[in-house]
Amino acid sequence: MAEDVVFQKIDMKGKDIITIHDLSSKEVFHILKTTEFLKEKAKKGEVYQPLKGKTLGMIFHKASTRTRISFEVAIWQLGGYGLFLNKNDLQLNRGETIADTAKVLSRYLDAIMIRTYDHEDVLVLAEYADIPVINGLTDLTHPCQVLADLFTIYEKKGRLSGLKLAYIGDGNNMAHSLMYGCAKVGMNIAIASPKGYEPKEDIFISAKKDAEITGSSILITNDIEEAVKDADVLYTDVWASMGQEAEREKRIKAFQGYQINKALLKKAKQNAIVMHCLPAHRGEEITDEVMDGPQSVVFDEAENRLHTQKAILTLVM
């Protein structure tokens, strides 16, 4: 890929990354192309540091492995500095408003990444900050993960448009962002969840509008076999996410049968790949046999968080 891909006319400097729905299809593909460019450079051992002197503030209200490490390594590899801020480091817990915090951080930093529970907190932070705000995860959406997922699928399949992704499990933030992401790139998506655990209706409606533009389809069903039929990608997530620990036993009962295992994998296309955003509860939503099997791309997917987030930072900072 030509080096000037990063400097194409699609100007994303200063842009917030809150949901994939907020991005145009051209912007999504620009992020993916930039990811490819940066990954190629990294694999060749080439130093590329367009963010020298830049500082990324990273606010964490939720624990993290991949998000923290990938963002911290990403900004460092790009020549900048990542400042880790947990919930006890800021005055937010002592009564300072998010709006005031946003205004102050804008005077010190070049961008903010936040991983938190309430999606509204990210919206308020973005409204009052004068610098780009990146959603590292909320209970509603997880855009950075899905952008990495789309790149991984492109790497493995050579295309995105016209493929089918089957998501098996909770209609959570991952299901929401996968609907948005697939709709933007023309991928078909089928989501199979138990009754009462389907994705939010308003997310489905807004994603469907994007899908109508790109010609893709979105199916919400309780029927696992219907979702998996002719699927190019099988995807799952934990049955009980952070903050849902009290519901764990109830959810384990509700999600019985909503597991990606060898028998289910055989009902998808022969060359289907298997994905999981991690962390995985092995033996629940996915079996060891599948996760460690030849069709799993789970750890390639995890690696691509780094490359995709480097692309996001390069483009918006």
Domains in the chain, please, with CATH?
Answer: 3-141+304-316 (3.40.50.1370), 145-302 (3.40.50.1370)
pLDDT of residue 86: 84
Q: In the annotation, is 68 catalytic?
A: no
How far is residue 221's CA from residue 3's CA, in Å, rounded to a whole number?
Answer: 43
Task: Mark whether 182 is an active-site residue.
Answer: no
Q: What is the pLDDT of residue 33?
A: 96
Let me know if 225 is exposed, middle or buried by CB neighbors in 10 A (0-12, 13-18, 19+): exposed
CA atoms within 13 A on the CB side of 149: 29
Query: Cα–Cα distance between 283 and 71 in angstroms, integer?
Result: 29
Measure the CA–CA gap between 124 and 109, rounded to whole angstroms: 17
295: annotated active-site residue:
no
- Catalytic residue of the set 145, 149, 232, 276: 145
Q: Which of 85, 89, 83, 128 lies closest to 109, judged by CA?
A: 83
Q: Residue 169: what pLDDT?
A: 97
| 49 carries an active-site annotation | no
Respond yes or no: is residue 305 known to be catalytic: yes
Predicted confidence at residue 89, as pLDDT, reads: 74
Q: Are 127 and 134 in contact (CB under 8 A)?
A: no
Q: Mind listing the pLDDT tens digit for each residue in 17-29?
A: 999 999 999 999 9
Catalytic residue among 176, 305, 307, 309: 305
**Averaged pLDDT, groups of 10, the chain, 317 residues long:** 50 98 97 97 96 97 91 98 86 78 96 96 97 97 98 98 98 98 98 97 98 98 98 95 76 94 98 97 97 98 98 98
Terminal alpha carbon distance of the chain = 22
CA distance 317 to 312: 8
